[in-house]
Chain A
């Protein structure tokens, strides 16, 4: 369980998160939605400890995580942009991340799944964006962790890999993992999401299931529902 209490974050004069409260219960897929600059990524990074909040607290399983680092052993994170040290090979990179966490891994089946075994000895700078994203996915899913955070996981993926990704996410969910996703692809949201968290201007404007969203906004289409939320707030 992730519990966020009165979280504030400013970047200079810009208030990105304002007194944000959020509780994410254990198990399930949570999609975090919101327009650009709404604070999605900042929220995720705060949970990961990459952004240091001005005030407030974040607890995971009842323990504050601020100024700690060991707890990240229980979080898998997929960053938005995949950029790696160009002169290492895929193999070396995977080995490196493996050695950083002393946990059992399942990278072999993932390598097979995403069909990147031919690239294993290639330098990372010679890979295409899509292949890099696949490597990124492998690095994320090869550990068995309770919390999985995915920042725009679909970018640059071919349809086949996208289907594989959805399958993996479903599997992880069935194992009782807590999965946080940010995305712009609404079909992805509709298909997978157990709960939607809608953020605007650093505050949570909606939290609930897809169904609840549709009922509240009286829209049948999720894209329209989101647009509705946005418009309503802008008026």
Chain B
């Protein structure tokens, strides 16, 4: 498995797209700091970008990588390797290289700016951590979609649709249902609804870290218990991990049954 990870990673680390992605974040980081002139405000603005963009990039790269390396995958399939080794290896290779672009791309401007001495270092670190989580989640979802659809265009379409669904539509439906059922106690429902969308979950994790927890806890006892204590943080991270494990598990089981 390690060999597959290594070579997929090597391949991607030399790809133009990795550099474009890296350069984009580098630029974004510098522009944010330059425009805001304030590390903590830059972190908040970055949150909006990361929560929306890393899933999109993860999805597109995931699908693209899968379709592009189809023939190479077939070559690997003829080698004495387990199927799960090949696909999980490629998945980890891709997700790691995307995460590296993100962490370095944003890390460098903030390091230059002196985030280490600043008090927001932990906020910033958790921002990057959530970005990495989202990358791993959405690459795995993209792999799932690509594995289930041999038609490239259909696969791409579904992947983009999934992103749109989780990044925008889900919240829309969520918001409307909260307003419609205003008369019922909704605190538990809304917490659970957040758990089913990794983007919402990540956003809430960052909000918690950014100390807006009080704002969220303002709403009532259930929220206060969830957001006001470390419970929210722990549960969120656990569910986020589950969001990686389940799709990866499905990649493995799907790969075992698929014909190439």
Contacts and interface: CB of A to CB of B under 8 A. Distances in A.
The short answer to whether A and B are in direct contact, CB under 8 Å, is: yes
A86 B79 contact: no
Contacts of B41: none
B72 A75 contact: no
Given A11-B259, A85-B7, A87-B10, A69 B80 contact: yes
Interface of A: 9, 11, 45, 48-52, 69-73, 75, 77, 79, 81-88, 92, 96-97, 99-101, 123, 139
Contact of A88 (B11, B70, B260): B11
B180 interface: no
Nearest to A75: B78
Given A72-B80, A73-B80, A87-B15, A50 B74 contact: yes
A48 B77 contact: yes
B8 A100 contact: no
Contact of A50 (B3, B8, B77): B77
A70 B82 CA distance: 8
Given A51-B260, A69-B82, A92-B10, 12 more contacts: A9-B259, A51-B259, A70-B80, A75-B78, A83-B71, A85-B7, A85-B69, A87-B10, A87-B14, A96-B3, A100-B3, A101-B79
Contacts of B3: 96, 99-100
A101 B76 CA distance: 11
Interface of B: 3, 7-8, 10-15, 69-72, 74-83, 257-260
Give 3 nearest A-B pairs by CB, closest first: A83-B71, A87-B14, A77-B78
Contacts of B69: 85
A3 to B, nearest CB: 20
Given A11-B259, A85-B72, A88-B10, A48 B78 contact: yes
A100 B79 contact: yes
B81 A69 contact: yes
